Chain A
């Protein structure tokens, strides 16, 4: 099976802009979770989608949002970008709910906000 894919792999944006990141889970996986990885804060949970429904949300402002489509692909959107949003955004998929089934991680999207 193909692994988790994320597009684009690299993005450069300026403050105030918005960005959409995409994640394609492993075939058959219904759960997609998003994480933010930064040197200062480490890996932090953003949200999880399962069968097109948001199941969990981390402690991030409302500028961070996401959705999942019927084919389990997921998108994450960040509006009104801030310098502190520069990070590696990781997507992970699992067959069942995250934390119960093993999560498989993608390579990430490196977002730089100038």
Chain B
């Protein structure tokens, strides 16, 4: 069965620091990749997604992620975080064929200190 691993469970950064959150998945076939964010007290919302094409995808609020097929990774990055980025971040994967349900990682709680 496919699985998604997020290695960092809790990350604490100061404002203006750079961010990279790791995400690895276990499936050898074609996948669709997503990063979702859940701000305190708010709904899950999509940050960015990768289906095909340029492996470097840009999302909302200055976030980007790079798909590295050989490493089965889809890491999320932001060059300079803000206090408002404090949230929980979830990586998710669906298979390109067959079962298309989102498989989520365990999430990374990001705390940005002013």
Contacts and interface: CB of A to CB of B under 8 A. Distances in A.
Contacts of A56: 99-101
Contacts of A35: 102, 104
B19 to A, nearest CB: 21
Contacts of B46: 102-104
A108 B107 CA distance: 17
Nearest to A40: B106
A102 B5 CA distance: 21
The prevalent SS among residues of A at the interface is strand
A43 B90 contact: yes
Nearest to B41: A107
B24 to A, nearest CB: 15
B17 interface: no
Given A99-B32, A99-B94, A99-B95, A106 B100 contact: no
Contacts of B45: 104-105
Interface string B48-66: 0100000000000000000
Interface residues of B, number: 20
A45 B103 contact: yes
A100 B100 CA distance: 8
B75 to A, nearest CB: 19
B43 A3 contact: yes
B90 A97 contact: no
Contacts of A105: 36, 43-45
A99 B102 CA distance: 6
Nearest to A4: B43
Given A42-B106, A42-B107, A100-B32, A58 B43 contact: no
Contacts of A48: 100-101
A100 B33 CA distance: 10
Interface of A: 3-4, 33, 35, 42-45, 48, 55-56, 58, 90, 92, 97-100, 102-108
